[in-house]
């Protein structure tokens, strides 16, 4: 297993060291002209003509900023998390994201802000089909998953849900997942997946369901990299989505000030936050950092104008501490 993981890691580093950027048509988050710059001379061209980076089981397309899930739907690879945002903060943050071209929004019934997310989407003027919304069912809702799914749909009021996850394992999780499978069949949800599921849990859970999860969302940051877990999930053709990319509550300042990350940021003329997000993306990990600051929301999307070298990726890999900062 260790040799396989090392081989996958080396493959990642070789593939991502070339780097790719989005085309000039993409929404821009630069302070100068508002667009993410493209450096086509560093792009890796695919057979279809677009720059992309290959990962085990799926591909990140840096022209469209998307990844195609195992069911054919496209998911943006960078966006916004809304945990701990009040209704007003959430509304304003989602509006700010959509205004600067971001299209991925992560919420949950547990967050209590689905209504604000839906309202900001409806008020934005952005076509619904361009936006990708993730929400989650909490374990306390597993006893009536059908009702919980309807509740999410009613609060969001956006027609359908792009991705619904089980928030973390709990009693009745298999039955709740079956309810999500039925909602997919009914056209209420496009894609389904899991959050806070790791190798042992996945090995037990997956044989009991009919639809392979499209996404698994786990805590991932330089101090908690979950390298073996990430590669295992990716080997199944399941997209990995990392939450708390900046280390989680109470740990962000320490991570941003880390000498290794700060030095890399200085080298590229970017922020520590951008280095961390780019590191995740080059590992094939979708990112949706939380923020209520419009400038930070814009900055967090501007991660396609530079590429981390293999050496820099290795330097960040060396920061692993096994420090899981969230409680589940």
Q: Using pLDDT thresholds of 50, 70 and 90, give the confidence band for residue 250.
A: confident
Asked if 136 contacts 114 with a C-beta cutoff of 8 angstroms, the reply is no
Task: Assign 231 to helix, strand or coil.
Answer: helix
Among candidate residues 177, 168, 160, 171, the one with its CA nearest the CA of residue 213? 177
Q: Of 43-47, 88-92, 199-203, which gets the smallest average pLDDT?
A: 43-47
Of 35, 20, 89, which Cα lies nearest the Cα of 282? 20
Q: Which of 111, 177, 224, 232 is catalytic?
A: 111
pLDDT of residue 328: 64
pLDDT higher than 80, residue 4: no
7-11, 186-190, 278-282: the lowest-pLDDT one: 7-11
pLDDT score of 325: 77
Cβ distance 74 to 103 under 8 Å? no
What percent of the chain clears pLDDT 90, i.e. is strictly above it?
Answer: 79
Q: What CATH topology corresponds to 65-317?
A: TIM Barrel (3.20.20)
- Output the average pLDDT for the chain: 86
Cα–Cα distance measured from residue 320 to residue 226, given in angstroms and rounded to the nearest whole number: 9
Tell me the mean pLDDT in the region 315-319. Answer: 98
Per-domain residue ranges of the chain: 65-317
Is the per-residue pLDDT at 72 higher than 80?
Answer: yes
Is 223 designated active site? no
* Per-residue pLDDT at 327: 65
pLDDT digits 0-9 by tens, 153-182: 999 999 999 999 999 999 999 999 999 999
Distance of alpha carbon 93 from alpha carbon 116, whole angstroms = 10
Query: pLDDT tier at 274 (50, 70, 90 boundaries)?
Result: very high
CB 238 within 8 A of CB 70: yes
Rounded to an integer, the average pLDDT of 8-27 is 35
């Amino acid at each position: 297993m260790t040799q396989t993981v090392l081989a996958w890691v080396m493959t990642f580093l070789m593939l991502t060291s070339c780097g790719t950027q989005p085309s000039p048509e993409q929404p821009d988050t630069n302070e100068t002209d508002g667009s993410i710059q493209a450096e086509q001379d560093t792009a890796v061209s695919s057979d279809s003509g677009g720059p992309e980076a290959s990962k085990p089981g799926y591909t990140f397309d840096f022209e469209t900023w998307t990844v195609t899930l195992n069911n054919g739907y496209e998911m943006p690879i960078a966006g916004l998390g809304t945990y701990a945002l009040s209704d007003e903060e959430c509304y304003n943050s989602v509006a700010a994201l959509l205004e600067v071209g971001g299209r991925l929004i992560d919420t949950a019934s547990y967050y209590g802000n689905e209504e604000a997310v839906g309202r900001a989407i409806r008020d934005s003027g952005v076509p619904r089909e361009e936006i990708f919304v993730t929400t989650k069912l909490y374990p306390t809702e597993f006893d009536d998953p059908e009702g919980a799914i309807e509740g999410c749909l009613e609060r969001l009021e956006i027609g359908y849900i792009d991705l619904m996850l089980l928030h973390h394992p709990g009693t009745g999780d298999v039955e709740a997942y079956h309810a999500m499978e039925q909602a997919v069949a009914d056209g209420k949800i496009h894609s389904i997946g899991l959050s806070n599921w790791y190798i042992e849990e996945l090995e037990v859970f997956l044989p009991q369901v009919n639809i392979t999860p499209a996404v698994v969302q786990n805590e991932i940051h330089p101090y908690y990299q979950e390298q073996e877990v990430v590669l295992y999930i990716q080997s199944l053709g399941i997209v990995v989505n990392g939450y708390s990319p900046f280390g989680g509550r109470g740990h962000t300042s320490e991570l941003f000030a880390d000498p290794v990350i700060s030095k890399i940021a200085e080298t590229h003329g970017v922020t520590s936050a951008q280095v961390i997000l780019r590191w995740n993306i080059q590992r094939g990990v979708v990112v949706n950092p939380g923020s209520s600051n419009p400038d930070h929301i814009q900055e967090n999307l501007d991660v396609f104008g530079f590429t981390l070298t293999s050496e820099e990726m290795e330097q960040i890999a060396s920061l692993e501490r096994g420090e899981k900062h969230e409680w589940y």
